[in-house]
Structure 1
Amino acid sequence: MTETRHVPGLTDIDIEVRAAARFDRAAGDPYRYGVYLRPDPATCAAVTAVTGQLRAQYGFVSAGAFPPHATLVGSRHIPVPEAEITAAVTRALDGATAFTVHNAGVRRQGVGLVYDVAHLADGTTPNTAFTELAARVDEAVVPLQAPAPNPADHSFDATAFRPHLSLLSHDMYVRPDLLEEADEYVRGLPVPFPDSFPGDTVTLYRTASEDWTGRWWTTLTWEHVHTWRLPR
Protein backbone atom coordinates (compact mmCIF):
# COMPACT_ATOMS: atom_id res chain seq x y z
CA MET A 1 0.00 0.00 0.00
CA THR A 2 1.27 3.48 -0.87
CA GLU A 3 1.75 5.73 2.14
CA THR A 4 0.35 9.26 1.79
CA ARG A 5 0.90 12.29 3.96
CA HIS A 6 -1.42 15.27 4.25
CA VAL A 7 -0.11 18.40 2.56
CA PRO A 8 -2.14 21.60 2.96
CA GLY A 9 -4.00 22.39 -0.25
CA LEU A 10 -3.46 18.94 -1.78
CA THR A 11 -5.89 16.06 -1.81
CA ASP A 12 -4.79 12.48 -1.34
CA ILE A 13 -5.27 11.96 -5.09
CA ASP A 14 -2.94 14.90 -5.85
CA ILE A 15 -0.29 13.36 -3.62
CA GLU A 16 -0.67 9.95 -5.24
CA VAL A 17 -0.30 11.50 -8.72
CA ARG A 18 2.82 13.41 -7.70
CA ALA A 19 4.38 10.32 -6.15
CA ALA A 20 3.66 8.28 -9.25
CA ALA A 21 5.08 10.92 -11.60
CA ARG A 22 8.63 9.94 -10.74
CA PHE A 23 8.01 6.52 -12.23
CA ASP A 24 6.05 7.68 -15.29
CA ARG A 25 7.17 6.28 -18.60
CA ALA A 26 8.13 8.86 -21.16
CA ALA A 27 7.19 8.49 -24.82
CA GLY A 28 9.09 5.56 -26.25
CA ASP A 29 9.48 3.71 -22.96
CA PRO A 30 10.43 1.07 -22.05
CA TYR A 31 13.07 1.35 -24.79
CA ARG A 32 16.56 2.81 -24.69
CA TYR A 33 19.20 2.67 -27.43
CA GLY A 34 22.92 2.02 -27.34
CA VAL A 35 25.57 2.23 -30.05
CA TYR A 36 28.47 -0.08 -29.34
CA LEU A 37 31.80 -1.17 -30.77
CA ARG A 38 31.63 -4.93 -31.08
CA PRO A 39 34.90 -6.78 -30.37
CA ASP A 40 36.20 -9.61 -32.51
CA PRO A 41 34.65 -13.07 -31.93
CA ALA A 42 37.52 -14.32 -29.75
CA THR A 43 37.24 -11.34 -27.38
CA CYS A 44 33.45 -11.68 -27.32
CA ALA A 45 33.89 -15.32 -26.33
CA ALA A 46 36.24 -14.33 -23.50
CA VAL A 47 33.78 -11.75 -22.16
CA THR A 48 30.93 -14.26 -22.33
CA ALA A 49 33.03 -16.90 -20.55
CA VAL A 50 33.86 -14.55 -17.66
CA THR A 51 30.34 -13.17 -17.24
CA GLY A 52 28.92 -16.67 -17.50
CA GLN A 53 31.24 -17.89 -14.76
CA LEU A 54 30.27 -14.96 -12.52
CA ARG A 55 26.61 -15.77 -13.01
CA ALA A 56 27.15 -19.46 -12.34
CA GLN A 57 29.21 -18.84 -9.20
CA TYR A 58 27.64 -15.71 -7.69
CA GLY A 59 24.44 -14.98 -9.56
CA PHE A 60 25.84 -11.71 -10.98
CA VAL A 61 23.95 -10.78 -14.14
CA SER A 62 24.47 -7.10 -14.97
CA ALA A 63 27.47 -7.28 -17.30
CA GLY A 64 26.25 -10.49 -18.90
CA ALA A 65 22.82 -8.98 -19.52
CA PHE A 66 24.31 -7.16 -22.52
CA PRO A 67 26.01 -8.55 -25.62
CA PRO A 68 29.81 -8.13 -25.33
CA HIS A 69 30.59 -4.54 -26.29
CA ALA A 70 32.45 -1.33 -25.68
CA THR A 71 29.93 1.48 -25.32
CA LEU A 72 30.14 4.44 -27.69
CA VAL A 73 26.85 5.93 -26.48
CA GLY A 74 24.60 4.05 -24.10
CA SER A 75 21.08 3.95 -22.69
CA ARG A 76 19.75 6.89 -24.70
CA HIS A 77 16.03 7.64 -24.79
CA ILE A 78 15.38 8.20 -28.51
CA PRO A 79 11.65 8.11 -29.30
CA VAL A 80 11.93 8.30 -33.10
CA PRO A 81 11.63 5.57 -35.75
CA GLU A 82 14.64 3.26 -35.75
CA ALA A 83 15.21 3.97 -39.42
CA GLU A 84 15.87 7.58 -38.45
CA ILE A 85 18.38 6.55 -35.78
CA THR A 86 20.12 4.25 -38.23
CA ALA A 87 20.29 6.95 -40.88
CA ALA A 88 21.73 9.49 -38.44
CA VAL A 89 24.47 7.12 -37.27
CA THR A 90 25.20 6.11 -40.87
CA ARG A 91 25.85 9.75 -41.74
CA ALA A 92 28.01 10.18 -38.65
CA LEU A 93 30.18 7.20 -39.57
CA ASP A 94 30.83 8.44 -43.09
CA GLY A 95 34.58 8.93 -43.29
CA ALA A 96 35.34 6.99 -40.10
CA THR A 97 37.89 4.20 -40.43
CA ALA A 98 38.78 1.11 -38.42
CA PHE A 99 41.50 1.27 -35.80
CA THR A 100 43.32 -1.17 -33.55
CA VAL A 101 41.89 -1.76 -30.09
CA HIS A 102 44.37 -2.93 -27.42
CA ASN A 103 43.19 -5.05 -24.49
CA ALA A 104 45.28 -4.49 -21.35
CA GLY A 105 43.40 -7.19 -19.45
CA VAL A 106 41.30 -7.17 -16.29
CA ARG A 107 41.18 -3.88 -14.42
CA ARG A 108 38.93 -2.35 -11.78
CA GLN A 109 36.78 0.45 -13.13
CA GLY A 110 33.83 2.12 -11.45
CA VAL A 111 32.32 -0.36 -9.02
CA GLY A 112 33.31 -3.45 -10.97
CA LEU A 113 35.74 -5.15 -13.36
CA VAL A 114 36.45 -4.62 -17.05
CA TYR A 115 38.77 -5.54 -19.84
CA ASP A 116 40.61 -2.23 -20.22
CA VAL A 117 40.59 -1.20 -23.90
CA ALA A 118 41.10 2.53 -23.41
CA HIS A 119 44.78 2.83 -24.34
CA LEU A 120 47.32 2.14 -27.03
CA ALA A 121 49.77 -0.75 -26.78
CA ASP A 122 51.93 1.12 -24.25
CA GLY A 123 49.08 0.92 -21.73
CA THR A 124 49.13 4.64 -20.90
CA THR A 125 48.45 6.66 -24.05
CA PRO A 126 44.70 7.14 -24.65
CA ASN A 127 43.36 5.61 -27.84
CA THR A 128 42.01 8.84 -29.29
CA ALA A 129 40.45 7.05 -32.27
CA PHE A 130 38.02 5.45 -29.82
CA THR A 131 37.04 8.82 -28.35
CA GLU A 132 36.65 10.40 -31.77
CA LEU A 133 34.34 7.58 -32.88
CA ALA A 134 32.19 7.98 -29.77
CA ALA A 135 32.01 11.74 -30.32
CA ARG A 136 30.77 11.20 -33.87
CA VAL A 137 27.99 8.93 -32.73
CA ASP A 138 27.02 11.17 -29.81
CA GLU A 139 26.72 14.20 -32.08
CA ALA A 140 24.41 12.20 -34.34
CA VAL A 141 21.97 10.93 -31.70
CA VAL A 142 21.72 13.90 -29.34
CA PRO A 143 19.30 15.83 -31.61
CA LEU A 144 17.01 12.77 -31.66
CA GLN A 145 16.88 12.30 -27.90
CA ALA A 146 14.06 13.29 -25.57
CA PRO A 147 14.12 13.69 -21.78
CA ALA A 148 13.15 10.67 -19.73
CA PRO A 149 12.52 10.44 -15.98
CA ASN A 150 14.89 7.49 -15.69
CA PRO A 151 17.55 6.23 -15.53
CA ALA A 152 20.33 8.71 -14.83
CA ASP A 153 21.59 10.88 -17.69
CA HIS A 154 24.27 9.29 -19.90
CA SER A 155 25.76 12.35 -21.57
CA PHE A 156 29.02 11.95 -23.48
CA ASP A 157 32.10 13.61 -21.98
CA ALA A 158 35.24 13.24 -24.08
CA THR A 159 37.49 14.02 -21.11
CA ALA A 160 35.94 11.26 -18.99
CA PHE A 161 35.35 8.71 -21.74
CA ARG A 162 37.13 5.43 -20.99
CA PRO A 163 36.13 2.58 -23.28
CA HIS A 164 35.93 -0.84 -21.68
CA LEU A 165 34.39 -4.29 -21.92
CA SER A 166 32.30 -4.89 -18.80
CA LEU A 167 32.85 -8.11 -16.87
CA LEU A 168 31.27 -7.19 -13.52
CA SER A 169 29.23 -4.05 -13.01
CA HIS A 170 25.94 -2.98 -11.41
CA ASP A 171 25.60 -6.04 -9.16
CA MET A 172 28.37 -4.51 -7.05
CA TYR A 173 26.04 -1.70 -5.98
CA VAL A 174 24.02 -4.42 -4.27
CA ARG A 175 26.86 -6.73 -3.14
CA PRO A 176 30.00 -4.60 -2.69
CA ASP A 177 31.13 -7.06 -0.04
CA LEU A 178 31.88 -9.59 -2.79
CA LEU A 179 34.09 -7.38 -4.97
CA GLU A 180 37.40 -8.62 -3.57
CA GLU A 181 36.36 -12.26 -3.87
CA ALA A 182 34.96 -11.77 -7.37
CA ASP A 183 38.13 -9.95 -8.46
CA GLU A 184 40.28 -12.86 -7.28
CA TYR A 185 37.93 -15.33 -8.94
CA VAL A 186 38.00 -13.58 -12.33
CA ARG A 187 41.78 -13.28 -12.36
CA GLY A 188 42.04 -16.99 -11.64
CA LEU A 189 39.84 -18.05 -14.55
CA PRO A 190 41.72 -19.77 -17.40
CA VAL A 191 40.12 -17.56 -20.04
CA PRO A 192 42.50 -16.42 -22.82
CA PHE A 193 41.81 -13.29 -24.86
CA PRO A 194 43.57 -11.50 -27.74
CA ASP A 195 45.73 -8.55 -26.73
CA SER A 196 44.29 -6.56 -29.65
CA PHE A 197 41.50 -6.65 -32.19
CA PRO A 198 40.28 -4.49 -35.09
CA GLY A 199 37.82 -1.77 -34.11
CA ASP A 200 35.74 -2.10 -37.25
CA THR A 201 32.25 -3.20 -36.17
CA VAL A 202 29.69 -0.71 -34.82
CA THR A 203 26.28 -1.93 -33.68
CA LEU A 204 22.95 -0.42 -32.67
CA TYR A 205 20.89 -2.19 -30.03
CA ARG A 206 17.46 -1.55 -28.55
CA THR A 207 17.19 -2.33 -24.84
CA ALA A 208 14.20 -2.58 -22.55
CA SER A 209 13.53 -3.06 -18.86
CA GLU A 210 10.42 -3.45 -16.77
CA ASP A 211 11.67 -0.75 -14.40
CA TRP A 212 14.43 1.69 -15.36
CA THR A 213 14.20 3.30 -11.92
CA GLY A 214 15.47 0.32 -9.94
CA ARG A 215 17.57 -2.79 -10.56
CA TRP A 216 16.90 -2.59 -14.27
CA TRP A 217 19.62 -5.11 -15.15
CA THR A 218 17.56 -7.93 -13.61
CA THR A 219 14.85 -7.52 -16.29
CA LEU A 220 16.94 -6.15 -19.16
CA THR A 221 16.29 -7.47 -22.64
CA TRP A 222 17.90 -6.37 -25.88
CA GLU A 223 17.59 -6.75 -29.61
CA HIS A 224 20.12 -6.13 -32.36
CA VAL A 225 18.99 -3.39 -34.78
CA HIS A 226 21.85 -2.63 -37.17
CA THR A 227 25.54 -3.24 -37.85
CA TRP A 228 28.04 -0.97 -39.62
CA ARG A 229 31.50 -2.03 -40.81
CA LEU A 230 34.23 0.58 -40.80
CA PRO A 231 36.71 0.39 -43.69
CA ARG A 232 40.34 -0.40 -42.86
Structure 2
Amino acid sequence: MNDHIAHKLPRDDSDPFRYGIYLRPDPKTCRAVTVITDQLRAQYGLLSAGAFPPHATLVGSQPFGFNENEVVAAVTALLANREAFEVHNAGIRAPGIGYVYDVSQNADGTENEALVSLARDIEAAVEPFRRPMNNPLPNDFVPELFRGHLSLASHDLYERPDLRDEVGEFIRELEVPVPSGFAGRSVVMYRTASPDWSGRWWKTMTWEHVHSWQLTSA
Protein backbone atom coordinates (compact mmCIF):
# COMPACT_ATOMS: atom_id res chain seq x y z
CA MET A 1 0.00 0.00 0.00
CA ASN A 2 1.19 3.51 -0.80
CA ASP A 3 2.69 5.06 2.35
CA HIS A 4 0.93 8.34 1.54
CA ILE A 5 -2.37 6.48 1.84
CA ALA A 6 -1.47 4.27 4.79
CA HIS A 7 -0.05 7.18 6.81
CA LYS A 8 -1.99 10.41 6.51
CA LEU A 9 0.39 13.29 5.89
CA PRO A 10 -0.02 16.45 7.98
CA ARG A 11 -1.95 19.28 6.39
CA ASP A 12 -0.07 22.23 5.03
CA ASP A 13 -1.05 25.53 6.65
CA SER A 14 -1.09 27.10 3.19
CA ASP A 15 -3.78 24.72 1.98
CA PRO A 16 -7.00 26.45 0.87
CA PHE A 17 -9.15 25.35 3.79
CA ARG A 18 -12.04 27.22 5.36
CA TYR A 19 -14.11 25.93 8.25
CA GLY A 20 -17.77 26.22 9.09
CA ILE A 21 -19.58 25.43 12.32
CA TYR A 22 -23.25 24.84 11.75
CA LEU A 23 -26.51 23.86 13.42
CA ARG A 24 -27.70 20.70 11.71
CA PRO A 25 -31.49 20.36 11.34
CA ASP A 26 -33.38 17.17 12.06
CA PRO A 27 -33.23 14.46 9.38
CA LYS A 28 -36.65 15.27 7.88
CA THR A 29 -35.74 18.93 7.44
CA CYS A 30 -32.38 17.90 5.97
CA ARG A 31 -34.25 15.72 3.49
CA ALA A 32 -36.55 18.59 2.49
CA VAL A 33 -33.56 20.90 1.85
CA THR A 34 -31.80 18.20 -0.17
CA VAL A 35 -34.87 17.44 -2.28
CA ILE A 36 -35.19 21.12 -3.21
CA THR A 37 -31.50 21.73 -3.92
CA ASP A 38 -31.27 18.51 -5.94
CA GLN A 39 -34.30 19.52 -8.01
CA LEU A 40 -32.86 23.00 -8.62
CA ARG A 41 -29.60 21.45 -9.80
CA ALA A 42 -31.47 19.03 -12.07
CA GLN A 43 -33.76 21.70 -13.54
CA TYR A 44 -31.62 24.86 -13.59
CA GLY A 45 -28.06 23.79 -12.85
CA LEU A 46 -28.01 25.74 -9.56
CA LEU A 47 -25.21 24.48 -7.32
CA SER A 48 -24.38 26.85 -4.47
CA ALA A 49 -27.00 25.94 -1.85
CA GLY A 50 -26.50 22.25 -2.54
CA ALA A 51 -22.72 22.54 -2.34
CA PHE A 52 -23.03 22.25 1.45
CA PRO A 53 -24.84 19.74 3.63
CA PRO A 54 -28.15 21.18 4.93
CA HIS A 55 -27.32 23.59 7.76
CA ALA A 56 -27.94 26.86 9.55
CA THR A 57 -24.64 28.73 9.71
CA LEU A 58 -23.35 29.63 13.17
CA VAL A 59 -19.83 30.62 12.09
CA GLY A 60 -18.90 30.22 8.44
CA SER A 61 -15.88 30.30 6.11
CA GLN A 62 -13.23 30.62 8.80
CA PRO A 63 -9.46 30.10 8.22
CA PHE A 64 -8.03 28.21 11.21
CA GLY A 65 -4.73 27.07 9.70
CA PHE A 66 -3.11 24.41 11.88
CA ASN A 67 -5.57 25.05 14.72
CA GLU A 68 -8.27 22.55 13.78
CA ASN A 69 -7.79 20.38 16.87
CA GLU A 70 -7.66 23.42 19.14
CA VAL A 71 -10.93 24.72 17.67
CA VAL A 72 -12.62 21.36 18.27
CA ALA A 73 -11.39 21.37 21.87
CA ALA A 74 -12.58 24.94 22.46
CA VAL A 75 -16.05 24.26 21.06
CA THR A 76 -16.25 20.98 22.99
CA ALA A 77 -15.58 22.86 26.23
CA LEU A 78 -18.10 25.55 25.30
CA LEU A 79 -20.91 23.13 24.50
CA ALA A 80 -20.44 20.83 27.48
CA ASN A 81 -23.81 20.64 29.26
CA ARG A 82 -25.33 23.28 26.97
CA GLU A 83 -29.03 22.66 26.49
CA ALA A 84 -30.78 22.07 23.20
CA PHE A 85 -33.51 24.51 22.16
CA GLU A 86 -36.48 24.68 19.82
CA VAL A 87 -36.06 26.01 16.30
CA HIS A 88 -39.13 27.19 14.40
CA ASN A 89 -39.23 26.91 10.61
CA ALA A 90 -41.29 29.82 9.26
CA GLY A 91 -41.17 28.34 5.78
CA ILE A 92 -39.81 29.60 2.47
CA ARG A 93 -38.63 33.22 2.43
CA ALA A 94 -36.79 35.30 -0.14
CA PRO A 95 -34.17 37.53 1.52
CA GLY A 96 -31.95 39.25 -1.02
CA ILE A 97 -31.45 37.35 -4.26
CA GLY A 98 -32.06 33.81 -2.96
CA TYR A 99 -34.50 31.54 -1.14
CA VAL A 100 -34.27 29.99 2.31
CA TYR A 101 -36.19 28.26 5.03
CA ASP A 102 -36.35 31.01 7.67
CA VAL A 103 -35.40 29.66 11.12
CA SER A 104 -34.47 33.00 12.69
CA GLN A 105 -37.56 33.51 14.84
CA ASN A 106 -39.76 31.70 17.29
CA ALA A 107 -43.32 30.74 16.35
CA ASP A 108 -44.61 33.97 17.95
CA GLY A 109 -42.37 36.12 15.76
CA THR A 110 -39.81 36.98 18.41
CA GLU A 111 -36.11 36.51 17.77
CA ASN A 112 -34.77 33.06 18.59
CA GLU A 113 -32.34 34.29 21.23
CA ALA A 114 -31.02 30.79 21.94
CA LEU A 115 -29.87 30.48 18.32
CA VAL A 116 -28.27 33.93 18.29
CA SER A 117 -26.58 33.22 21.62
CA LEU A 118 -25.17 29.95 20.32
CA ALA A 119 -23.68 31.69 17.27
CA ARG A 120 -22.28 34.51 19.40
CA ASP A 121 -20.65 32.11 21.89
CA ILE A 122 -19.11 29.92 19.18
CA GLU A 123 -17.74 33.03 17.48
CA ALA A 124 -16.06 34.07 20.73
CA ALA A 125 -14.68 30.56 21.31
CA VAL A 126 -13.04 30.27 17.89
CA GLU A 127 -11.88 33.88 17.49
CA PRO A 128 -8.41 33.28 19.02
CA PHE A 129 -7.69 30.65 16.36
CA ARG A 130 -8.75 32.65 13.31
CA ARG A 131 -6.07 33.56 10.82
CA PRO A 132 -6.11 36.72 8.66
CA MET A 133 -8.22 36.33 5.54
CA ASN A 134 -8.91 38.69 2.66
CA ASN A 135 -9.93 36.18 0.01
CA PRO A 136 -12.85 36.13 0.29
CA LEU A 137 -13.59 38.95 2.73
CA PRO A 138 -14.04 37.87 6.38
CA ASN A 139 -17.33 36.18 7.19
CA ASP A 140 -17.46 36.90 10.91
CA PHE A 141 -20.53 36.81 13.13
CA VAL A 142 -22.32 40.19 13.33
CA PRO A 143 -25.28 40.07 15.76
CA GLU A 144 -27.22 42.81 13.97
CA LEU A 145 -27.00 40.96 10.65
CA PHE A 146 -27.40 37.38 11.86
CA ARG A 147 -30.55 35.61 10.64
CA GLY A 148 -30.76 31.85 10.99
CA HIS A 149 -31.65 30.20 7.70
CA LEU A 150 -31.34 27.04 5.63
CA SER A 151 -30.28 27.93 2.09
CA LEU A 152 -32.34 26.60 -0.82
CA ALA A 153 -31.04 28.79 -3.68
CA SER A 154 -28.30 31.36 -3.29
CA HIS A 155 -25.14 32.59 -5.05
CA ASP A 156 -25.98 31.23 -8.51
CA LEU A 157 -28.85 33.70 -8.77
CA TYR A 158 -26.43 36.63 -8.72
CA GLU A 159 -25.30 35.30 -12.09
CA ARG A 160 -28.84 34.54 -13.23
CA PRO A 161 -31.16 37.14 -11.67
CA ASP A 162 -33.53 36.55 -14.58
CA LEU A 163 -34.30 33.14 -13.07
CA ARG A 164 -35.13 34.39 -9.57
CA ASP A 165 -38.94 34.56 -9.87
CA GLU A 166 -39.12 31.35 -11.84
CA VAL A 167 -36.97 29.51 -9.30
CA GLY A 168 -39.11 30.78 -6.42
CA GLU A 169 -42.27 29.57 -8.13
CA PHE A 170 -40.61 26.23 -8.86
CA ILE A 171 -39.59 25.77 -5.20
CA ARG A 172 -43.09 26.51 -3.94
CA GLU A 173 -44.77 24.27 -6.49
CA LEU A 174 -42.59 21.35 -5.40
CA GLU A 175 -44.62 21.39 -2.15
CA VAL A 176 -41.93 19.46 -0.32
CA PRO A 177 -43.15 18.41 3.16
CA VAL A 178 -41.04 19.92 5.93
CA PRO A 179 -41.53 19.98 9.72
CA SER A 180 -42.60 23.29 11.28
CA GLY A 181 -39.61 23.08 13.59
CA PHE A 182 -36.91 20.91 15.09
CA ALA A 183 -34.78 20.53 18.20
CA GLY A 184 -31.60 22.55 17.89
CA ARG A 185 -29.23 19.97 19.31
CA SER A 186 -26.74 18.94 16.61
CA VAL A 187 -23.74 21.20 15.99
CA VAL A 188 -21.35 20.16 13.23
CA MET A 189 -17.97 21.36 11.97
CA TYR A 190 -16.97 20.95 8.34
CA ARG A 191 -13.69 21.57 6.53
CA THR A 192 -14.18 23.07 3.08
CA ALA A 193 -11.74 23.66 0.25
CA SER A 194 -11.74 25.54 -3.04
CA PRO A 195 -8.92 26.55 -5.39
CA ASP A 196 -10.43 30.04 -5.67
CA TRP A 197 -12.49 31.43 -2.83
CA SER A 198 -12.74 34.81 -4.56
CA GLY A 199 -14.48 33.40 -7.62
CA ARG A 200 -17.35 30.99 -8.20
CA TRP A 201 -16.28 28.76 -5.33
CA TRP A 202 -19.54 26.78 -5.35
CA LYS A 203 -18.48 25.19 -8.65
CA THR A 204 -15.27 23.73 -7.20
CA MET A 205 -15.80 23.50 -3.43
CA THR A 206 -15.43 20.19 -1.61
CA TRP A 207 -16.14 19.48 2.03
CA GLU A 208 -15.34 16.98 4.78
CA HIS A 209 -17.06 16.34 8.10
CA VAL A 210 -14.72 17.10 11.00
CA HIS A 211 -16.69 16.82 14.24
CA SER A 212 -20.22 16.66 15.67
CA TRP A 213 -21.49 17.81 19.07
CA GLN A 214 -24.84 16.96 20.64
CA LEU A 215 -26.44 19.48 23.01
CA THR A 216 -28.15 18.06 26.08
CA SER A 217 -31.90 17.61 26.27
CA ALA A 218 -33.67 20.36 28.17
TM-score of the pair, normalised by structure 2: 0.92
After superposition, the C-alpha distances for 1:5-57 in whole angstroms (9 at most, x for unaligned) are xxxxxxxxxxxxxxxxxxxxx94431000000000000000000000000000
Q: How does 1:86-165 map to 2 (within 5 A)?
A: 86-122=72-108, 124-165=109-150
Match of 1:171 in 2: 156
Unpaired runs of 5+ residues, structure 2, are 1-11
Q: How does 1:192-203 map to 2 (within 5 A)?
A: 192-203=177-188
For 1:209 and 1:92, the matched residues in 2 are separated by 29
What's the offset of the Cα at 1:83? 1.4
Q: Percent identity?
A: 57
Match of 1:58 in 2: 44
Moved more, 95-104 or 48-57: 95-104
Q: Is the 8 A contact 1:96 1:133 kept in 2?
A: no
Q: How does 1:38-53 map to 2 (within 5 A)?
A: 38-53=24-39
Give the alignment partner of residue 183 of structure 1, picking from 168, 180, 203: 168
For 1:62 and 1:150, the matched residues in 2 are separated by 18
What's the offset of the Cα at 1:80? 2.3
Q: How does 1:72-87 map to 2 (within 5 A)?
A: 72-87=58-73
Q: Which runs of 4+ in 1 moved over 2 A?
A: 26-29
Q: Is the 8 A contact 1:28 1:77 kept in 2?
A: no
Q: Is the 8 A contact 2:13 2:66 kept in 1?
A: no
What's the offset of the Cα at 1:95? 4.0
Unpaired runs of 5+ residues, structure 1, are 1-25
After superposition, the C-alpha distances for 1:132-186 in whole angstroms (9 at most, x for unaligned) are 0001110011110111231121111112110000000100111111101000110
Q: How does 1:209-228 map to 2 (within 5 A)?
A: 209-228=194-213
RMSD, aligned α-carbons: 1.2
Structure whose alpha-carbon radius of gyration is higher: 1
The number of aligned residues is: 206
SS at match of 2:94: strand
For 2:168 and 2:136, the matched residues in 1 are separated by 27
Q: Is the 8 A contact 1:61 1:171 kept in 2?
A: yes
What's the offset of the Cα at 1:94? 2.8
